Amino acid sequence: MHILLFLGALLGAAGVSAVESPHKRALPKRKAAIPNTERANSAHAKRAHLNDKTKKFAVDGKGLPEVNFDIGESYAGTLSIDDDPDNENQLWFWFFPSENPAAGNEITLWLNGGPGCSSLDGLLQENGPFLWQSGTFRPIANPYSWVNLTNMVWVDQPIGTGFSPNAKGAVKKLKTEHDVSVDFMGFWKNFMETFNLTGRDVYLTGESYAGQYIPYISYNMLQANDTDYYNVKGIQINDPSINEGDTMTEAPAINYVNEYSNIFNLNETTMAWLNQRNEECGYADFMENALSYPPKGPIPTAPDSYRKHCNLWEYATSAAIYINPCFNFYHIIGQSGNPAVCGSR
Ligand SMILES: *[C@@H]1O[C@H](CO)[C@@H](O)[C@H](O)[C@H]1NC(C)=O
Ligand SMILES: *[C@@H]1O[C@H](CO)[C@@H](O)[C@H](O)[C@H]1NC(C)=O
Ligand SMILES: *[C@@H]1O[C@H](CO)[C@@H](O)[C@H](O)[C@H]1NC(C)=O
Ligand SMILES: *[C@@H]1O[C@H](CO)[C@@H](O)[C@H](O)[C@H]1NC(C)=O
């Protein structure tokens, strides 16, 4: 699962007009969302990382289909997960060096989750230099691109995810997050070498199921004691999946529905039933204990949601979608569903 949180520039523009002119109904200023392409085109001149070793990965920043502005210097392709460059198991990356001098000596990784989601999800819809949001006609430049602050690389992993190829049968051999992180370590060394990034400060970021990947990868990196490649300086996990679904989602679900009952907008019968089941399934007690401070120990295991009528998050969100087909359970004050009916987020 992943969370899509971004409100478009469109909403921002409408908001500003509404403040300036309280008596007029603000019409969304669609043109405000279209970037000034001339300025964007003149902005990127140098290609600091272009050399014989990297040129096969160079992306023509002005040549992307549907993108009518220069996305700047970037490199994409696949690299092996170990010392054998011909290993069929490779990871796909898209590397964007920053033009911001303050980004100098660091490299920041972004991973989406899933497991099995391409990190293009984050690049194209959340934090990349250009975004193509659902319900919109074409990509636009992202003024909040993380490349504006740091050197970014988005990677599709584990092997077999997104554009990352795998040898036949290789994916099945990955049994644990440790196995996955070992592959990543091999890839990362090759990446750091290819782009001459050795010694740089490494930051690992990502969302959702990457909340599992990142602690394992960064732990392994720190264990390697090799600051040439694995000089981990920080991690950031967003809406991370750091425990089982029952603990992360089902147990707290009804507390959340109660807190935001004005948004879920469920009727009294449904609310009463959900709260009764919350008691009977043992979630109410579980949350009472789990939320005690200071914690009594590691996060305890929640009651099993596979018991009859205990998958309460599914009940609550299905009920919300039943009365509002545009309800977005990833972002309850946003919307989702058919853009023609619901508009874009
Ligand atoms: C970051 O983005 C802002 C807004 O587009 C731009 O004005 C600024 O020059 C950018 N900074 C860098 C270092 O690229
Ligand atoms: C690699 O980077 C270092 C500085 O980080 C620089 O001194 C060196 O010239 C670079 N080598 C190549 C081949 O670009
Ligand atoms: C790195 O250092 C730690 C702590 O000193 C040690 O436990 C670990 O075995 C070392 N790892 C390697 C690969 O040398
Ligand atoms: C309450 O909502 C549920 C689910 O949406 C619906 O089936 C039921 O008829 C509603 N009850 C009342 C009293 O409106």
The 10s digit of each residue's pLDDT in 182-204 is 999 999 999 999 999 999 999 99
DSSP secondary structure of 166-229: --TTTGGG--SHHHHHHHHHHHHHHHHHHTT-TT-EEEEEEETTHHHHHHHHHHHHHHTT-TTT
Nearest CA to 133 among 32, 10, 317? Answer: 10
Average pLDDT score over residue span 320-342: 86
SS3 46: coil
Q: What is the 49 CA–ligand 2 centroid distance (Å)?
A: 10
Q: What is the 270 CA–ligand 4 centroid distance (Å)?
A: 7
Determine contact, residues 338/327, Cβ cutoff 8 Å.
Answer: no
On the CB side of 185, how many CA atoms lie within 13 Å of its CA?
23
**331: pLDDT confidence band, cut at 50, 70 and 90?**
confident
Q: What is the 196 CA–ligand 2 centroid distance (Å)?
A: 6
Average pLDDT score over residue span 136-156: 96
Q: Is 105's C-beta closer than 6 angstroms to any atom of ligand 1? A: no
Q: Is 268's C-beta closer than 6 angstroms to any atom of ligand 4? A: no
Which of left, alpha, beta for 242 (phi over 0: left; psi -120 to 50: alpha)?
alpha
Q: Which amino acid is at 335?
A: Q
The per-residue pLDDT for range 239-283, each reduced to its tens digit, is 999 888 899 999 999 999 999 999 999 999 999 999 999 999 999
> Residue ranges per domain, the chain?
1-33, 44-238, 245-342
Q: Is 224's C-beta closer than 6 angstroms to any atom of ligand 3? A: yes
Residue 39 has pLDDT above 70, yes or no: no
The top-level CATH class assigned to 44-238 is alpha beta
Residue 294 has pLDDT above 70, yes or no: yes
Query: What gap in Å lies between CA 131 and CA 228, rounded to an integer?
Result: 33
106-111 and 152-156 beta bridge pairing: parallel
Confidence (pLDDT) at 344:
59
Six-digit token string for 220: 């392994």
Determine contact, residues 201/233, Cβ cutoff 8 Å.
Answer: yes
Nearest CA to 111 among 154, 69, 80? Answer: 154
pTM exceeding 0.95: no
Element (H, E) at 141: strand 140-141
